[in-house]
């Protein structure tokens, strides 16, 4: 099967290592599936051809011999179905994986983005400092719930799945934020996820694409 993953040909330094094709690379590494990169040059994400594949002009986008799709979460579910190591074992596990993917992307990621993005995309603007306390409180609540669930568990489910890839890449944006230090169970879970070979392979691959050292 030929798998193609579309990502940008270039991103600013601050984004290197954090572009969401990382999730896809990680899942493919865990699955042991090879892929080709389609690197989008200047203007290409806005062209009709790419918008027909990814309507928002974002990355990643994915194509294999059967389907093409966009949205990193949807792509991860597709990859999981293609790979023995990641495929759900029964209907309940499939449902749990889907639920935790949505939880990561819908219940956790927006709160973390609201805390972290202003400092990155609006650095120096007057309102940024004032937005932090309430944003941090909401992240704190989510991490408290997540820590409660993860207590006594290595992974979100009984084994590592694409839901962990999604959750870990979401949580990773909190590295360096004081709030994660207040949730040691979540911090330990994140560390466990990021220690996997699949993550290291994915990160090294993305940094190589964007011309940065993989150190
Ligand atoms: N919900 C999308 C978000 C994708 C996304 O935010 N991609 C960023 C790169 S990490 C992007 O393409 N940004 C450029 C833009 O939004 O125009 C997904 O998970 O695939």
User: For the chain, how many structural domains are there in total?
Assistant: 2
Does residue 213 sit within a domain?
Answer: no
Q: What pLDDT is recorded for position 81?
A: 94
Does residue 138 sit within a domain?
Answer: yes
* pLDDT by residue, tens only, the chain of 215 residues: 899 999 999 999 999 999 999 999 999 999 999 999 999 999 999 999 999 999 999 999 999 999 999 999 999 999 999 998 999 999 999 999 999 999 999 999 999 999 999 999 999 999 999 999 999 999 999 999 999 999 999 999 999 999 999 999 999 999 999 999 999 999 999 999 999 999 999 999 999 999 865 44
Render the burial of 41-57: b for 16+ CB within 10 Å, e for the rest.
Answer: eeebbeeeebeebbeee
Q: Which atom of ligand 1 is nearest to the CA of 71?
A: 20
Helices (H) and strands (E) counted in the chain, each on its own, are: 10, 4
Q: Which domain holds residue 51?
A: 4-86
Q: What pLDDT is recorded for position 213?
A: 58
Domain boundary among the residues 44, 62, 86 is at 86
Mark whether 79 and 61 lie in a shared domain.
yes
Ligand 1 centroid to Cα of residue 163, in Å, is: 18
Ligand 1 centroid to Cα of residue 160, in Å, is: 25
- The CATH number linked to 172 is 1.20.1050.10
Domain boundary among the residues 86, 112, 138 is at 86
Mark whether 105 and 188 lie in a shared domain.
yes
The DSSP-derived string for 53-118 is TSTTS-S-EEE-SS-EEESHHHHHHHHHHH-TTTS-SSHHHHHHHHHHHHIIIIIIHHHHHHHHHH
Q: Which atom of ligand 1 is nearest to the CA of 59?
A: 12
Mark whether 193 and 97 lie in a shared domain.
yes
Q: Which atom of ligand 1 is nearest to the CA of 20?
A: 10
Ligand 1 centroid to Cα of residue 151, in Å, is: 31
Mark whether 71 and 36 lie in a shared domain.
yes
Mark whether 41 and 101 lie in a shared domain.
no
Mark whether 21 and 108 lie in a shared domain.
no
Ligand 1 centroid to Cα of residue 38, in Å, is: 16
Q: What pLDDT is recorded for position 215?
A: 44
Mark whether 114 and 153 lie in a shared domain.
yes
Mark whether 102 and 81 lie in a shared domain.
no
Mark whether 10 and 66 lie in a shared domain.
yes
Binding site membership of 58 for ligand 1 (Cβ less than 6 Å): yes
Does residue 174 sit within a domain?
Answer: yes
Ligand 1 centroid to Cα of residue 19, in Å, is: 8
Does residue 127 sit within a domain?
Answer: yes
């Amino acid at each position: 099967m030929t798998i193609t993953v579309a990502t940008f040909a270039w991103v600013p330094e601050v984004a290197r290592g954090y572009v969401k094709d990382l999730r896809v690379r990680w899942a493919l590494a865990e699955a042991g599936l090879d892929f080709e990169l389609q690197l989008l040059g200047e203007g290409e994400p806005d062209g009709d051809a790419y918008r027909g594949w990814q309507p928002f002009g974002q990355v990643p986008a994915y194509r294999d011999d059967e389907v093409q799709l966009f949205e990193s979460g949807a792509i991860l579910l597709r990859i999981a179905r293609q790979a023995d190591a990641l495929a759900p074992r029964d209907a309940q596990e499939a449902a749990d994986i889907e639920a935790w993917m949505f939880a990561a992307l819908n219940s956790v990621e927006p709160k973390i983005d609201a805390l972290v993005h202003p400092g990155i995309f609006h650095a120096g603007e007057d309102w940024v400092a004032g937005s932090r306390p309430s944003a941090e409180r909401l992240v704190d609540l989510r991490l408290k719930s997540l820590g409660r669930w993860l207590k006594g568990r290595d992974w979100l489910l009984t084994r590592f799945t694409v839901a962990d890839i999604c959750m870990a890449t979401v949580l990773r944006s909190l590295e360096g934020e004081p709030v994660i230090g207040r949730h040691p169970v979540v911090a330990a879970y994140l560390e466990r996820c990021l220690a996997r070979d699949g993550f290291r392979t994915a990160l090294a691959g993305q940094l190589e694409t964007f011309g940065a050292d993989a150190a």
